[in-house]
């Protein structure tokens, strides 16, 4: 795998270390998503085979409990889709594909929006909620800022050396 290329202005450019770190973090996150999906499938299978534990019978209606294995299986599939997208983004980051940078930026913006909406829906704005909201906004903003830097943006517009 090459980490250098030629810019549109015929200047040699090298992949920034931060892009490599973001790709590695994306791979780790995607692996964790695959493990979570496997857990969802295992839980769905156990519920389908053994049935719902008696302790849960009084907590929800029978219709909800009956649909629980299918719900968890569908959630596992959705998690696998996000893992596949994460692996694709990581590959694109390592290869200098601008679509991966743009897609990552879109997901970061959606993450900020969902964090704010989640805090609003939670309703209680205590210190812990505000700290959590601050962290869940600051980290994506820093990554967005980094991806928008000139030298980082230039990496995604380089052509590989032939």
Q: d(Cα 62, Cα 94) in Å, to the nearest integer?
A: 48
Burial 44-83 (b: 16+ CB within 10 A, else e): beebeeeebeeeeeeeeeeeebeebbeebbebbeebbebb
Which tokens sit at 133? 């909201």
With contact defined as beta carbons under 8 Å apart, do 147 and 112 qualify?
A: no
Is residue 71, in this structure, part of any structural domain at all? yes
Is residue 68, in this structure, part of any structural domain at all? yes
Is residue 2, in this structure, part of any structural domain at all? no
Mean pLDDT by 10 residues, the chain (162 residues): 58 86 97 97 84 68 76 94 97 94 96 91 83 92 95 82 37
Is residue 3, in this structure, part of any structural domain at all? no
Length of the chain (residues): 162
Q: d(Cα 44, Cα 74) in Å, to the nearest integer?
A: 9
Is residue 5, in this structure, part of any structural domain at all? no
With contact defined as beta carbons under 8 Å apart, do 133 and 115 qualify?
A: yes
Is residue 133, in this structure, part of any structural domain at all? yes
Looking at the structure of the chain, the number of domains it has is: 1
**Domain carrying residue 111:** 13-160
Backbone angles phi and psi of 4, in degrees to 5: -135, 165
Predicted local confidence at residue 10, as pLDDT:
61
Residue 125 DSSP class = -
Is residue 8, in this structure, part of any structural domain at all? no
Is residue 1, in this structure, part of any structural domain at all? no
Predicted local confidence at residue 5, as pLDDT:
59
Predicted local confidence at residue 75, as pLDDT:
95
């Amino acid at each position: 795998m090459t980490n250098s290329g030629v810019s549109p202005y015929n200047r040699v450019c090298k992949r920034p270390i931060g892009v490599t770190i973001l790709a590695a973090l994306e791979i780790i996150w995607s692996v964790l998503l695959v493990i979570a999906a496997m857990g969802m499938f295992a839980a769905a299978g156990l519920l389908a085979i053994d049935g719902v534990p008696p302790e849960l019978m009084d907590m929800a209606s029978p219709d909800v409990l009956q649909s629980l294995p299918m719900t968890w299986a569908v959630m596992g599939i959705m998690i696998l889709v996000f893992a596949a997208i994460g692996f694709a983004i990581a590959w694109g980051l390592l290869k200098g594909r601008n679509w991966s940078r743009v897609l990552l930026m879109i997901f970061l913006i959606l993450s900020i929006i969902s964090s704010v909406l989640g805090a609003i829906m939670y309703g209680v704005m205590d210190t812990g909620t505000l700290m959590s909201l601050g962290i869940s906004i600051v980290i994506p903003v820093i990554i967005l800022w980094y991806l928008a830097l000139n030298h980082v943006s230039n990496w995604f517009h380089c052509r590989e050396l032939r």
